[in-house]
């Protein structure tokens, strides 16, 4: 739950300035996440829109429970029933669950058997909605692995193998989700088969660069006429190409059923950055937002951030986006945010004029319990004193081991939102360094 963050940061007695800056960074991050919290943004969107009774609600993603809470806060009397599908450990406890709602949990970032059960449950729930009723579908990041209905000839083991390859491939999310959609009976707009012509309101939290509805959750209810072109440009392993032959035909953009589907994006990374900038100014900093999203290889992004900070004026600097990380054959513990943080710390090692937070807005990073990390120019040296090599940990995609050892990983738990990643840096003034 937002606000119950668990700090796992080291505060050094001889560097009280950086300790204060770390607290400021975390406060800025917290305000940014609150501004795009699933409950709040759904409330804001639905408040001025009267429902068509009865409403049948389906929510999928890491922020599904929070988004559902927002729907019940505004449309509670109109909601007939609901199904919520979220990541293992992200469902609320029994005392906080909404009435008339079934909760399911499934695998992320690696899909599991529960993802297949959840996919079939979603299809059956929507197919049973009365024709005169309204559907409200809430989608947030993570949906791509949390729900699935597989074509004949593709097994759960096949799908898990595909997802494992994608996660280590270094491909961007557009390419990854094009592959996922092509191997699905519900993605790439195919979930519309279950809806028929029912009136449907779709609300999205965008966790993808460019806020493209075709990519969010692999486009469960959004047609993707360009998916085949994306696939043609990819150098996929032969065994994935073979599986693609089993892909069902996706509905075309002019399919009449899409006329009843109205889609709105209710939260984005840009909204989170705006809130972060306001929070920074409230703490007395000048704030600078880099509007261009950080995408592509994590090492290139680290170089970009480090170069900017090296010549920057004092203040708070903001970036958002989603980098990619190609994994080695033997993978350690980490995720793209922890990797990016450690890359930046290595590039700026020895400097005493910056402190940097890199974290996922969803509170998770890779297959770890961490959201990211807060690092500074002494991070690498602290690791060396503990017997760790930053370069070796980076080569082995083992940033979490390094950052946890030096006490600079941050752990928030589920945040109730998911709008990609935030990078927030403080460039200190000479006066701040000397004080």
- 2 or 99: which leads in pLDDT: 99
C-alpha span between 301 and 303 (Å, rounded): 5
Report the pLDDT averaged over residues 263-282: 98
From 13-17, 38-42, 103-107, the region with the lowest mean pLDDT: 13-17
C-alpha span between 188 and 239 (Å, rounded): 21
70-86, pLDDT tens digit by residue? 999 999 999 999 999 99
Omega cis (within 30) before 288: no
Where is 289: in which H helix or E strand?
A: strand 287-289
162-214, pLDDT tens digit by residue? 999 999 999 999 999 999 999 999 999 999 999 999 999 999 999 999 999 99
For 305, residues 6+ apart whose C-beta sits below 8 A from its C-beta are: 294, 319, 340, 344, 356, 423, 425
Q: Residue 368 carries which DSSP code?
A: S
DSSP 48-68: TS---SSEEEEEESTTHHHHH
State the chain's mean pLDDT as an integer: 93
Domains and CATH numbers, the chain: 16-35+269-434 (3.40.1480.10), 38-267 (3.40.50.10180)
Q: Is 138 helix (H, G, I), strand (E, B) or coil?
A: strand
CB 193 within 8 A of CB 149: no
| Nearest Cα to Cα of residue 294 among 252, 260, 238, 341 | 341
Q: Is 234 helix (H, G, I), strand (E, B) or coil?
A: coil
pLDDT at 246: 82
pLDDT at 435: 66
pLDDT above 70 (res 3): no
């Amino acid at each position: 739950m937002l606000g119950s963050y668990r700090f796992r940061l080291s505060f050094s007695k001889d560097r009280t300035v950086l300790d204060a800056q770390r607290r400021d960074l975390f406060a800025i991050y917290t305000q940014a996440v609150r501004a795009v919290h699933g409950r709040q943004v759904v409330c804001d969107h639905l408040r001025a829109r009267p429902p068509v009774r009865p409403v049948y609600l389906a929510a999928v993603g890491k922020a599904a429970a929070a988004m559902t809470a927002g729907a019940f806060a505004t449309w509670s009397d109109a909601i007939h029933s609901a199904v919520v599908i979220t990541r293992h450990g992200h469902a609320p406890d029994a005392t906080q669950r909404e009435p008339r709602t079934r909760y399911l949990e499934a695998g992320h970032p690696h899909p599991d058997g529960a993802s297949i059960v959840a996919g079939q449950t979603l299809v059956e729930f929507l197919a049973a909605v009365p024709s005169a009723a309204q559907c409200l579908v809430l989608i947030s990041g993570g949906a791509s692995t949390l729900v699935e209905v597989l074509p004949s000839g593709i097994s759960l083991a096949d799908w898990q193998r595909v997802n494992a390859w994608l996660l280590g491939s270094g491909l961007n999310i557009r390419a990854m989700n094009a592959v996922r959609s092509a191997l699905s009976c519900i993605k790439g707009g195919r979930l519309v088969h279950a809806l028929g012509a029912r009136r449907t309101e779709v609300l999205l939290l965008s966790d993808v660069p460019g806020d493209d509805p075709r990519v969010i959750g692999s486009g469960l209810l959004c047609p993707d006429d360009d998916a085949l072109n994306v696939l043609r440009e990819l150098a996929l392993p032969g065994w994935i190409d073979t599986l693609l032959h089993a892909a069902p035909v996706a509905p075309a953009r002019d399919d009449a059923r899409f006329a009843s589907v109205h889609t709105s994006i209710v939260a984005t990374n840009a909204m989170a950055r705006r809130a972060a900038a306001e929070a920074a100014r409230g703490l007395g900093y000048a704030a600078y937002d880099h509007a261009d999203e950080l995408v592509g290889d994590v090492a290139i992004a680290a170089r970009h951030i480090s170069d900017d900070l090296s010549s920057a004026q004092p203040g708070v600097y903001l970036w958002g986006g989603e980098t990619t990380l190609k994994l080695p054959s033997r993978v350690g513990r980490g995720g793209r945010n922890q990797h990016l943080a450690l890359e930046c710390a290595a590039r700026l090692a020895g400097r005493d004029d910056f402190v940097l937070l890199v974290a996922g807005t969803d509170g998770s990073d890779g297959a770890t319990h961490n959201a990211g990390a807060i690092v500074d120019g002494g991070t690498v040296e602290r690791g060396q004193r503990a017997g760790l090599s930053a370069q070796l940990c980076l080569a082995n995609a083992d940033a979490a081991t390094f950052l946890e050892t030096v006490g600079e990983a941050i752990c928030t738990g589920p945040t109730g939102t998911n709008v990609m990643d935030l990078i927030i840096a403080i460039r200190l003034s000479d006066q701040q360094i000397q004080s």
